């Protein structure tokens, strides 16, 4: 593509980009940001494209708030996460590893700042539904890229699916975790939508996403996937459909049993060494239970106690916790660890009423038992989806008022831009939303 062609395409798309940026920033540039979130690990070693796009998106959302003079009070989960971020920031005063704490703290503050803008943005239900579709599309992009590479011979030494670009690789475990929320949304649309075209697209997306998850060989990712699907089955009336889907997926996975081989491999017993690392984490927690070792300082705390414990198989120096909850307790102390758990719970509570987002957060909570994911954008995207669902359903305006009810001319009735309550809710909604965000 030459320079002239690029300029012509840019000129043609510019009016649409400007329109959506000013009128519907959740679709663009936030939608573009969503598409790149799963690929963040290969888009740059320091300042990634997604980080730059997050700044652009944040500015666009704030400009829309100023332009419309409508701003919301943040849902409860924002306040709990704010307390955790504050406590984590204070650990910089006594950290064991100032450099690691500074780097981790800058990253956390950037993620939380973007999270804050989402928390006060007055989202419209129709835009939130489209954002959910973009989350699925981002997962299909990641999974499709990985499947094409896998079929072409691009695999890890353990024959696991990965994604590579410009000399950088994405950890297969994080690929599996990043696909949890897209799978939850796609499955919800598949089992509940009445639109044949949407159901077909959801079926294709679900097959691609689940196939990629199996080929990552991530045991923690598979457990999180099973929990996610069982949660949807438990919370809805589509139990039989979910169980059939799980059965067919399990049988199909036997053709390429990457993940099952890893479950049976005795050399990977103990969670690939995670159990030995968790033993060291328990020892480190005894030394840093009150104030914490410092945000991002888990590897330093691990090194400090390594000679005081026995590891049947030496796991090396400066290892991460491979458990988001243990990491929070060791780094921020017992109070910070409890608040960290509370923040997860409150994010789940904010998503109540939308089963697919609930299921996505539950699945990611399970994945967090095997990964340190709090510094990754895909987990904050899940938390942000909980905020958007909450704000679209039950907005609490600090300034401005809800838009007047839209008139559905085809049906001859009004459509409320917020979730009704009380007796009205009983007539409008008989069960939680499943596929419809």
Tell me how far apart the alpha carbons of residues 298 and 357 are, in angstroms, rounded to a whole number: 30
Q: What is the largest CA-CA distance in the chain?
A: 73
Rounded to whole angstroms, how far apart are CA atoms 57 and 30? 6
Number of domains in the chain: 1
Per the domain annotation, does 206 fall within a domain? yes
**pLDDT for 427 beyond 50:** no
Do 415 and 405 meet the contact criterion of CB atoms below 8 Å apart?
Answer: yes
Consecutive H or E run containing 27 = none
- Is 415 within a domain? no
Assess whether the previous peptide bond of 316 is cis (omega < 30° from 0).
no
CA distance 217 to 214: 6
Rounded Cα distance between 391 and 74, Å, is: 8
Residue 132 lies in a domain: yes
Measured between alpha carbons, how far is 391 from 117 in angstroms, rounded to an integer? 12
Query: What is the mean pLDDT of the segment spanning 113-122?
Result: 98
Query: Does the pLDDT at position 418 exceed 60?
Result: no
Whether residue 435 is predicted with pLDDT greater than 60 in this model: the reply is no
Determine, yes or no, domain membership for 424.
no
Structure tokens at 126: 């129709």
In this predicted model, what pLDDT tens digit does every residue of 217-237 receive, in sequence order? 999 999 999 999 999 999 999
In this model, does residue 204 exceed pLDDT 70?
yes
What range does the domain containing 158 cover? 22-399
Say yes or no to pLDDT of 436 above 90: no
Give per-residue pLDDT as tens, 50-64.
Answer: 999 999 999 999 999
Radius of gyration of the chain (CA): 22
Confidence of residue 402 (pLDDT cuts 50, 70, 90): confident
Q: Chain-wide mean pLDDT for the chain?
A: 89
pLDDT of residue 360: 98
**157 lies in some domain:** yes
Q: Are 355 and 232 in contact (CB under 8 A)?
A: yes
pLDDT at position 407, please? Answer: 54
| 3 state DSSP class of 154 | coil
Which tokens belong to 426? 């009983």
- Global pTM value: 0.91
Beta strands in 156-253 (DSSP E): 163-165, 168-170
Angle, CA 38 vertex, CA 37 and CA 41 arms, to 5°? 90
Residue 412 lies in a domain: no
Taking residues 308-321, report their average pLDDT: 85
More confident residue, 400 or 62: 62
314, 44 in Cβ contact below 8 A?
Answer: no
- The dihedral of CA 89, 95, 300, 323: what is its sign? negative
For 64-84, the pLDDT digits (tens) are 999 999 999 999 999 999 999
Is pLDDT above 90 for 263?
no
Residue 4 in any domain: the answer is: no
What H or E segment, with its residue span, contains residue 349? helix 324-350
* CA-CA-CA-CA torsion sign (61, 64, 66, 68): negative
Q: Are strands 71-72 and 397-399 parallel, antiparallel or unpaired?
A: antiparallel
- Mean pLDDT calculated for residue range 413-436: 48
Predicted pLDDT of residue 426: 45
The answer to whether position 8 is within a domain reads: no
Contact 254, 260 (CB under 8 A): yes
Judge whether 249 and 210 are in contact, CB under 8 Å: yes
């Amino acid at each position: 593509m030459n320079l002239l062609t690029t300029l012509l395409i840019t000129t043609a798309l510019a009016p649409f980009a400007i329109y959506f940026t000013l009128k519907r920033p959740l679709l663009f540039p936030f939608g573009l940001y969503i598409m790149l979130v799963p690929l963040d690990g290969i888009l740059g070693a320091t300042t990634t494209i997604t980080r730059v796009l997050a700044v652009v998106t944040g500015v666009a959302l704030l400009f829309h708030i100023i332009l419309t003079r409508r701003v919301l009070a943040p849902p409860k989960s924002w306040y709990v996460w704010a307390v955790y971020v504050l406590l984590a920031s204070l650990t910089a005063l006594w950290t064991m590893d100032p450099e690691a704490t500074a780097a981790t703290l800058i990253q956390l503050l950037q993620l939380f700042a973007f999270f804050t803008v989402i928390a006060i943005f007055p989202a419209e239900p129709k835009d939130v539904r489209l954002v959910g579709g973009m989350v699925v599309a981002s997962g299909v992009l990641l999974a499709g890229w990985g499947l094409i590479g896998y079929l072409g011979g691009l695999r890890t030494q353990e024959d696991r699916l990965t994604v590579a670009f410009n000399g950088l690789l994405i950890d297969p475990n994080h690929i599996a975790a990043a696909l949890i929320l897209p799978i939850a949304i796609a499955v919800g649309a598949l089992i509940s939508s009445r639109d044949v075209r949407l159901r077909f697209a959801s079926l294709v997306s679900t097959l691609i996403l689940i196939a990629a998850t199996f080929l990552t060989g991530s045991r923690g990712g598979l457990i999180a996937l099973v929990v996610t699907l069982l949660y949807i089955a438990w919370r809805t009336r589509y139990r039989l459909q979910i169980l059939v889907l799980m059965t067919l997926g399990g049988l199909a996975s036997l053709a390429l049993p990457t993940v099952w081989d890893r479950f049976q491999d005795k050399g990977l017993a103990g969670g690939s060494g995670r159990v030995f690392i968790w033993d060291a984490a328990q020892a480190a927690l005894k030394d840093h239970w009150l104030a914490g070792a410092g945000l991002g300082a888990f590897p330093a705390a691990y090194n400090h106690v390594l000679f005081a414990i026995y590891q049947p198989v030496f796991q090396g120096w400066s290892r991460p916790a491979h458990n988001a909850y243990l990491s929070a307790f060791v780094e921020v102390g017992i109070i910070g660890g409890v608040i960290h758990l509370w923040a997860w719970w409150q994010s789940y509570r904010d998503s109540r009423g939308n089963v697919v987002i609930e299921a996505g957060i539950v699945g990611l909570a399970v994945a967090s038992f095997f990964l340190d994911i709090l510094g990754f954008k895909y987990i904050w995207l899940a938390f942000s989806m909980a905020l958007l669902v909450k704000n679209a359903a039950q907005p609490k305006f600090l300034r401005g008022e809800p838009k007047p009810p839209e008139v559905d001319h085809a049906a001859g009735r009004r459509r409320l831009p917020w979730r009704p309550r009380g007796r009205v809710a009983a007539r409008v909604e008989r069960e939680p939303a499943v596929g419809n965000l």
